[in-house]
Amino acid sequence: MAVLLSFQNIAYALLTLVGYIVVKTIYRLYFHPLAKIPGPKLAAVTTLYNAYYDICMPGLIKHLPAMHEKYGPIIRTQPNEVHVSNLEDYNQLFKVGSRFDRIWHDNPFLSGSLQSKETLPETKARKEFLSSFFSKAAILKVEPYLHRQKLTQFLDTLQQSAAANGGQGSVVDFFLGFRCLTADTIMDYCFQQDLNALAEPEFQSNTVNAFIQGFDLALVATYFPKTFGILSKIIFSLPEHVRAKHFAPLYGFQMMQRLASERVEFVMEHPNESNSKIPTMFDLMLRPDEKKGQVTPSKSDMVAEGCLMIAAGTDTTANVLGLTLWHVTQNPEIERRLAEELKRNIPDRDTILDSGRLEQEGFEYMRAVVKESLRLAYGVPGRILRKVPKEGATFNGQFVPGGTTITSGIYLQNTSPTTFPNPFTFDPTRWLCDPETYNIRERQMQSFSRGSRSCIGINLAYATLHLTVAHFFRRFEVQTTGYTTEWDMDWNDRFVPVPNGRIKGLVRVRAE
């Protein structure tokens, strides 16, 4: 009798569960406030639709163009989420003073950073601390001590590779090389702490390799934040050698956190010992401007800010450099024109110009190459989440109720066929156009996003890109054919674009 009752209870529980799922499915399909917004039925029912494309496939963002083509400029991508594709809608979400708050999925490494600030006042308050630190004037001031030093070290290392085999050159892993350059640069600039990644043989920096693997967990942390947080705490309790060997992606995040924490503690304990020529960003955060209502962030917030700068400043810029190398070396006419411009304006190939000079007359084609690389590197390509205010909002004539998650992203804007004909073709000349057309394309391209929450590191990124591209291609030529394939360069969305393989090439000194 007891066994029979037990089976009955199980049956009732299963029937209740099935009934709940059926009722919830019917509600989401036909009675939910978003029921009239078009999109795949499965996406309207469950978040697993998105998770499948993001975690098991290259990324939902790559599937969205086909969805928009089928369903229109506004589509339902989750039970309580819609995605918009038009630039006008994107601008409504991300313009200065936007009333759409950020939606933040808790992350144990970045919570407390600028990235985690949900409301506009919170974002503005934190950004005021950091804006002067990342201004163009501040970057030009420290360039002789930072960019030139790191760039020279990088170029000298490549010079040794080019001189190998009797001057016939050797194969270099530029995927790692560019990341070592950007990691050393961001660590020195923000922390006054040299990672020494560029000094590692063949750019095999354990720290940079750990950073790279950390991005593999980015989307898992987004979809399963609580589980990710719990597992992180358990794994962090294990011995370091176990974490490094068996949990490399999490170990990468923890290394970022440890580096940031050590530097914050040092600055807090030794407030007057920083190099006056290059103060760290933590020095500035510990000296708030009370007239502006600034308040010193907590130690944990500063550590999170440090983690954000490492993560954001290392991979995105390195991605652009890798993409530039690939497209330039795969297009002889582009490489010829770029090399001629650089030779004409940098007669001595060992000369290092400052980034301010590279923004002046004479380097138009080089800047166009960088611009086109930025367009096709996508920055952070995936969906950027915002919350519709309680009064609701209208997109493309479609009312979206308050509380809805609404998303858009860089990938669709940067590949708009209307603004960028043949959008997946690498064509620097599209930026050598009349001012009106240039401004239209500039407004369409969102590599650094827009508005109050745009990328705070834009000036540092441009300085690094212009300096590296100009002096790298002035001094070296690289053969990527035979060492790197189209498949290697194709990417998966893991918060940042993560390529299938690594860009490698045979490096030689460019003939005068």
Residue stretches of the annotated binding site for heme? 455
Query: Is there a contact between 116 and 304 (Cβ–Cβ < 8 Å)?
Result: yes
DSSP state of 55: I
Residue 135, amino acid? S
Binding site residues, as ranges?
455
Give the CA distances from residue 154 to residues 184, 197, 273, 414, 475, in Å, rounded to whole numbers and listed in that order: 10, 10, 28, 30, 12
> Cα separation of 42 and 50, whole Å?
10
DSSP β-bridge partners for residue 233: none
Between the alpha carbon of residue 228 and those of residues 55, 219, 237, 249, 497, the distances in Å are 14, 10, 14, 12, 21
Only one residue has tokens 């978003």, namely 34
Euclidean distance between CA atoms 384 and 390, whole angstroms: 19
For 394, list phi and psi in degrees, rounded to 5.
Answer: -115, 130
Q: CA-based angle 172:177:179, to the nearest 5? A: 150
243 and 251 in contact (C-beta within 8 Å)? yes
Per-position DSSP letters for 365-431, written without gaps between them: HHHHHHHHHHHHH-SS-SEEEEE--TT-EEETTEEE-TT-EEEEEHHHHHT-TTTSSSTTS--GGGG
Burial of 38 (0-12, 13-18, 19+ CB in 10 A): middle
Tokens for 23, please give them.
């009722």
* Gyration radius of the chain over CA positions: 25
302: left (phi over 0), alpha (psi -120 to 50) or beta: alpha
3-state secondary structure of 305: helix
Structure letter (DSSP) for residue 361 = T
DSSP 307: H
Rounded to whole angstroms, the Cα distance separating 141 from 153 reads: 20
Residue located via tokens 């580096």: 259
